[in-house]
């Protein structure tokens, strides 16, 4: 049994037990989430790929995040995180997509989007024709320097994914469109 205080290990155990797969799309974490996932022995059984999409153009070109979403909400926003997670999931044809976007600092923050503001997106691909697929996001404001914010963002993302996987039974999702808190 894996130590569930380590979210990467918990994700690995859950995905392995369910025979499911994961792709990640990262902005502020710059590959740290994928690195944490692959720190777990056996990750090749469930980890498909990671996209590091730091710039707007990378989010559009590699993931297909819409220009409209980026224009209306910016890179650091719930709708962007949801779209990043869903597009990573769909482009990689995995069961799960996980994304991070935010302001790591030390500069770049505003009153509306301060340093430490992070959005995590989680997307699930339910069996076809069930109507149970979804994508959702959660918002957090984290303290610390750039490294601490990046590390905490990666841990929060993995913990959110583990919680969401536990919510989904293997035979039916039964989850709404993502307006639930994570």
Residue 151 lies in a domain: yes
The packing angle between helices 146-167 and 7-18, to 10°, is 30
Q: Which domain holds residue 58?
A: 7-167
Local confidence band at 182 (pLDDT 50, 70, 90 cut-offs): very low
Residue 129 lies in a domain: yes
Both tokens of 91, joined, read 């482009």
Residue 127 lies in a domain: yes
Residue 181 lies in a domain: no
The 10s digit of each residue's pLDDT in 119-148 is 999 999 999 999 999 999 999 999 999 999
Q: What DSSP line would sit under 64-124, residue for residue?
A: ---HHHHHHH-SSSHHHHHHHHHHHHHHHT-SEEEEEEE--SSS---SSS-TTEEEEEEEE
Q: What is the mean pLDDT of the chain?
A: 92
Please indicate whether residue 169 or residue 178 has the higher confidence score (pLDDT): 169
Q: What is the Cα–Cα distance from 135 to 159, expressed in whole angstroms?
A: 16
* Beta strands, E only, 53-156: 96-102, 117-124, 134-141
Structural domains in the chain (count):
1
Whichever domain contains 53, its CATH number is 3.90.950.20
Residue 172 lies in a domain: no
């Amino acid at each position: 049994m894996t130590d569930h205080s380590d979210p990467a290990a918990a994700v690995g155990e859950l995905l392995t037990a369910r025979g499911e797969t994961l792709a990640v799309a990262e902005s502020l974490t710059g590959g740290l989430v994928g690195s944490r996932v692959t720190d777990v022995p056996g990750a090749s059984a469930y980890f498909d790929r990671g996209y590091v999409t730091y710039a707007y153009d990378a989010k559009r070109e590699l993931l297909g995040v819409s220009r409209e979403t980026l224009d209306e909400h910016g890179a650091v926003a719930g709708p962007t995180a949801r779209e990043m997670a869903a597009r990573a999931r769909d482009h990689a044809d995995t069961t799960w997509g996980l994304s991070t976007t935010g302001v790591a600092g030390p500069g770049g923050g505003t009153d509306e989007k301060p340093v430490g503001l992070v959005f995590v997106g989680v997307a699930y691909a339910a069996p076809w024709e069930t109507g149970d697929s979804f994508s959702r996001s959660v918002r957090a404001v984290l303290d610390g320097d750039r490294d601490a914010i990046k590390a905490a963002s990666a841990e929060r993302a993995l913990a959110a994914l583990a919680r969401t996987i536990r919510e989904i039974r293997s035979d039916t999702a039964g989850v709404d469109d993502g307006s639930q808190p994570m």
